[in-house]
Chain A
Amino acid sequence: MLSTDIVIEISRLTKQFKDVLAVDKLDLNVFKGDVFGFLGPNGAGKSTTIRMILSLISPSSGSIKIFDKDLLTSRREILKNVGAIVEKPDFYNYISAQKNLEILAKISGKEVTGKRITELLELVGLQNRAGSKVKTYSHGMKQRLGIAQALLHNPELIILDEPTTGLDPQGVKEIRDLIIRLSKEENKTIFLSSHILSEIEIIANRMIIINKGTKIVEGEVGKLLNPNVLKVSIEVDNTETAVNLLQTTVWVKNIESVSGKNINITLEQNDIPSVNKYLVENGLNVSALVPVRSLEDYFLSITSNTR
């Protein structure tokens, strides 16, 4: 596959439960090798989307293509190369971790050796407790076992739904390191959902933010979350002159849009007074110069609203 190959291609995906529109015409693309952050507040439709990707829930409309195959028609072929943790890690509690993995290995669609199971248990640090029934496991241990089962059949795409929830800081770090390792060393594509922006910022290269089932923004993490670059909306009496003037300055990174008397630009925070002074000195009436809220601020506002 080429590096630009699309691993997950979701278009106009919609899920209508009885009276709740959980996912609304969602578009999303995950490329091979991505660590893709799937960000949204609780209840934004993340889990519903992940469940649709994994065929746990059938979409009301829209399409899901994975590895360039339609999920509806090639489900088993696709799932052979997908490993996942969906929400909290649940297992057959009355069976040992080892046996749980053996069972899942048998239905993973690929040959999984006993050696592979042992290796994975070592990888997640459960080799000493492999024979214990899962019901004796702590949440953190289950979470690690969850990772092990997702990697069992060496899938190309790994879907992790809030994998660090409920873990202590040490556990969170271990999982993050593991994800980075899987991405860098084994070149896995990772689809990572989270409601914590900082987590995505640390691990992901691309991301999407959704709220109320629809896309807010999608793009490269570096670009979307650059802390030094600010969006500012300037209100002037003559936009045409203003745009011409702004294009000649060194401070303005980009003129994003012009609408009515407003010009939206991106620039570094330190340069705001200089831009203001420059426009006024050139005879323009600047009636307002308002920093538009950053993505981070926006995200914080929607997550705090839902809590």
Chain B
Amino acid sequence: MIFTLTKIELLKIFRKWRTYIGFIAIGLLVPLLHLAMYLEGQRSLELVTRGLRDSFILVGNLLNGYWISYIILNALTIHIPFLIALVAADLLAGEATAGTYRLLITRTVSRMQIVTSKFIAGIIYTISLVLFLAIMSLLVGLLIFGTGELIVMRPDAIIVFEKTDIIWRFILAYSFASLSMSVVCSLAILFSSLVENAIGPIVSTMAVIIIFVIISAFDVEILKAIRPYLFTNYILNWREFFGNPLDTGEIIKAVTVLCAHILVFFTATLWIFQKKDILS
């Protein structure tokens, strides 16, 4: 039944036009970033390698599809949550707004099945959006800019990855990004279960993310202490896959924390939804 319900949820998601806002946004934004990189990429690359260029001569194609995909993923992991929330916040609240809870819940499906299928469908949407970002930035980027070594600037190091040592890192990085975006998706669904209109959950999800990011940015002892408990702190940890050697401990920790968040948000949604009186 979960399988059938998930299929139905996906059908509903992909029949709604708001679903395509995310794809359109990425479909427009990424080529725009490509264009900007095409025009200005060399300059920004020179800017980040200026320290090196003072003492060294650099040869080779560093302004390649990999580097651009890395920059794009870096830039967009803060913005994609909005596109996720846009759809995920509507998953439960949208049924309330449309009055279709009454169609759904008066059938022989349990509320747990409904919530579970919505989570699965929401996460599938999230993954497909990240996948679309991967295709747009990586595949199109490689077509435009070609391949090359990937130069990664970390706070403590500059790492140059061999051409043959990059793709798997991106695959894992996009997978990790899907996971962290799934947390955003789960949070939006949780908020979505509380109200009867999608606007509130979208705004609340973004507010939570923005507040968490701000807390993370402040170097105050008291805020530092709570930082490890904020899931936003782990959103950018896909970068760990561009470490050499991989900090597997850090990666496992981040994956565990993110999975735990999804589980907590899911359980909370379930609890709220089980008790919810459908008045819409």
Residues of A within 8 A of B (CB): 17, 51, 54-58, 75-76, 79-80, 82, 84, 86-88, 90-95, 99, 103-104, 106-109, 149
Contacts and interface: CB of A to CB of B under 8 A. Distances in A.
B109 A107 contact: yes
Given A79-B108, A94-B16, 14 more contacts: A51-B277, A55-B105, A56-B101, A56-B106, A56-B278, A57-B279, A58-B275, A86-B106, A87-B102, A92-B100, A94-B15, A104-B103, A104-B107, A107-B4
Interface in B220-265: none
14 contacts: A51-B279, A54-B105, A55-B105, A56-B106, A57-B279, A87-B99, A91-B103, A94-B15, A95-B11, A107-B1, A107-B104, A107-B108, A108-B107, A109-B107
A88 B99 contact: yes
Contacts of A87: 99, 102
B106 A84 contact: yes
Contacts of B110: 75-76
Nearest to A76: B108
A92 B109 contact: no
A272 to B, nearest CB: 48
B12 interface: yes
Contact of A90 (B1, B12, B102): B102
A109 B108 contact: yes
A55 B15 CA distance: 28
B106 A103 contact: no
A104 B12 CA distance: 12
Nearest to A88: B99
A95 B5 contact: no
A94 B278 contact: no
B17 interface: yes
Contact of B103 (A55, A57, A75, A149): A149
A226 to B, nearest CB: 36
Interface in B1-41: 1, 4-5, 8, 11-12, 15-17
A32 to B, nearest CB: 21
A88 B99 CA distance: 9
A223 to B, nearest CB: 33
A104 B102 CA distance: 11
Given A95-B12, A107-B8, A90 B103 contact: yes
B158 interface: no
B108 A51 contact: no
A66 to B, nearest CB: 12
A294 to B, nearest CB: 35
Contacts of B76: none
Contacts of A56: 101-102, 105-106, 277-278
Contacts of A51: 277-279
B119 to A, nearest CB: 17
B98 interface: yes
Nearest to B9: A103
Contacts of B1: 107
A84 B98 CA distance: 17
Contacts of B15: 92, 94-95
Interface string B77-120: 00000000000000000000011111111111110000000000
| Residue of B16, B101, B103, B277 with most chain A CB atoms under a 10 A cut-off | B103
Contacts of B8: 103, 106-107
Nearest to A86: B102
Contact of B278 (A57, A91, A103): A57
A236 B12 CA distance: 72
B105 to A, nearest CB: 6
Nearest to B277: A57
A82 to B, nearest CB: 7
Interface string B263-280: 000000000000101110
B12 A92 contact: yes
A103 B17 CA distance: 19
B143 to A, nearest CB: 35
A80 B106 CA distance: 9
Given A90-B98, A103-B11, A54 B106 contact: yes
A137 to B, nearest CB: 14
B106 A82 contact: yes
Nearest to A93: B98
B192 to A, nearest CB: 17
B113 to A, nearest CB: 9
B5 A107 contact: yes
Contacts of A57: 277-279
Nearest to B109: A107
A30 B16 CA distance: 41
